[in-house]
Amino acid sequence: MKSTSKRMMIFIGIILIIILVILFMTVFQKDQQKQNKEEIITHSKYEGVDIITDVAYDDTYRSATHYPIFNIAKLDDEIAAYVQKSEENFFTDLKDKDPKWLEKRPASFSLSFDIYPIQDNLYSIVFYKDTYSGGANMQQDSNVYLVDMEKGQFIKQNEIIDNTTENKDQLYEQLKQGFMQSEDYQDFFFEEELHKWLYDESNTFSNMYIEEDHLVFIFNEYQVTAGAAGRPVIRIPLNDIKGIISKEWKDKLKIEEDESEEQEKPTEPEEGDSEDNGDTTESEIPDDAKKVAITFDDGPHPENTLKILNILEEYEMKATFFMLGSRVDFYPDIAKEVAKRGHEIGNHTWHHKDLTTLGTTEIKEEVQSTADMIKKATGEAPTAFRPPYGAINDNVRSVVDQESTLWTIDTEDWKSHDPDAILEVVKDNIEDGSIILMHDIHSTTVEGFKKVAAYLKKEGYYTVTVSQLND
């Protein structure tokens, strides 16, 4: 009898162990699936490369810096040194300026970049620096890096071109032709300066990069043209100058092969492709309810934005995300996820430049390129617009066909990086109809927003998108 009872206990014990193992494996698999899903969502479009954005401002200046990070020390250290030196030069220059004058016309600094994949693990990185700290004009210059991520090093441009007199002659003719035939540059072109630059023995072609099937040269302001030409860019088809390319790079770029076949373009999501997981509609909100709009600028971010989306879902809230085109380009899946969860996406320009310092063409480009990128990522055009720094004037209003959405509560989360301070700003200023400004590129903002969300829920506020608030 004891033996039977003992066997029964052993049998029950085995069954319990099997059940526990099954439960553990089920939870583990779900967790793994969740992790794998987030890996797909947070992956940058450019393999191995992420983008860092840093925005700062006060009454006397406006600064926006964007730069790539490769998680390779040698590459990241050199680019970080360039970024730091550029920022230091700007702020050093400000020390000599009259603060009262700057309060009337704030200085501005923008360091942005474009990235062009050459082939696997090879990238062209082109920096654009725009500085205004007084005077009539903005100062513009550029800097180029060619990156080999597999070797963890920068590529020297003079490795691409066989540096012979004959090749320089051919290149000179191609560049001269490019300037002379350009409606934008022909009236400002200094042929002698181009000749002087090209045939300088110390010339390493550091302003040259590869963009798809072109060899591209970007010149700094006043380098080979009058200042009105800005930063001239001349693109030369590789097939037109394949004779001057080194053998190693001919093989890498395959420029002798037939490149007439158009590369298959990625399928863009169709309009209406994004899902709506139940917007908080006006009909669901009592007429006498207190409503506020929560807004996040300067994203999307591969980790913080997702965490904020989860907090919004936890508290059944809606928000508006004013996105930078340059970051949507890197993280299109994040933008798509924001739209999928029923939140509003707004246009915050491509590079976060002070639009009041730009001409009509540049303003259009900053806004339209961002609208196009958001629509490409989400299937829908942005439905709101916020100018960087809230800087707006009649010229910007005449160019942008959307009303500008500013804010009533600036949490200054980018400055304090303190979750408790963020909450206190909201507590001290919140009222019915408030528009709260935060930035989803900062991890401390995630913690601060969780506190804000709990407070708003407790105080009976309903959160809506800015478009709903303005209706």
The pLDDT tens digits of the residues spanning 5-21 come to 666 666 666 666 666 65
* Other CB atoms within 10 Å distance of the CB of residue 42: 18
341: left (phi over 0), alpha (psi -120 to 50) or beta: alpha
**Distance between CA atoms of 370 and 329, rounded to whole angstroms?**
9
**Distance between CA atoms of 86 and 109, rounded to whole angstroms?**
9
Q: Please report which helix (H) or strand (E) contains residue 327, including its range.
A: helix 325-330
**Distance between CA atoms of 351 and 414, rounded to whole angstroms?**
17
Q: Which amino acid is at 376?
A: K
**Distance between CA atoms of 373 and 350, rounded to whole angstroms?**
9
Residues 91 and 60: beta-carbon distance below 8 Å? no
**Tens-digit pLDDT string for the chain (471 aa):** 555 666 666 666 666 666 665 555 544 444 443 333 333 345 799 999 999 999 999 999 999 999 999 999 999 999 999 999 999 999 999 998 888 889 889 999 999 999 999 998 999 999 999 999 877 678 999 999 999 999 999 999 999 998 899 999 999 999 999 999 999 999 999 999 999 999 999 999 999 999 999 999 999 999 999 998 999 999 999 999 999 999 999 998 887 644 444 444 444 444 444 444 444 444 478 878 999 999 999 999 999 999 999 999 999 999 999 999 999 999 999 999 999 999 999 999 999 999 999 999 999 999 999 999 999 999 999 999 999 999 999 999 999 999 999 999 999 999 999 999 999 999 999 999 999 999 999 999 999 999 999 999 999 999 999 999 988
Catalytic option among 66, 130, 297, 348:
297
- Percent of the chain beyond pLDDT 90? 76
Sign of the torsion formed by the C-alpha atoms of 36, 38, 39 and 45 = positive
List Cβ neighbours of 320 (8 Å cut-off, separation of 6 or more).
293, 294, 295, 296, 343, 344, 345, 346, 384, 405, 465, 466, 467
Exposed/middle/buried for residue 456 (C-beta within 10 Å: 0-12, 13-18, 19+): buried
Q: Is the model's pTM score more than 0.85?
A: no
Catalytic option among 413, 439, 440, 442:
439
Q: Residue 350 has what DSSP assignment? A: S
- Side-chain-side CA neighbours of 145 within 13 Å: the count stands at 25
| Owner of token pair 């491509």 | 350
- Going along the chain from its start, the domains and CATH numbers come out as 45-141 (3.30.565.40), 156-253 (3.90.640.20), 286-470 (3.20.20.370)
b/e per residue, 150-185, with b = 16+ CB within 10 A? Answer: eeeeebebeebbeeeeebbeebbebbbebbeebeeb
Q: Which amino acid is at 234?
A: I
Is 351 a catalytic site residue? no
Cis, peptide link before residue 300, omega less than 30° from 0: yes
Can you list the pairs that 374-377 forms with residues at least 24 positions away whose Cβ atoms lie under 8 Å? 374/323, 374/325, 374/328, 374/335, 374/345, 374/347, 375/271, 376/268, 376/269, 376/332, 377/269, 377/328, 377/332, 377/333, 377/335, 377/336
**Distance between CA atoms of 107 and 138, rounded to whole angstroms?**
10
3-class state of residue 134 by DSSP: coil
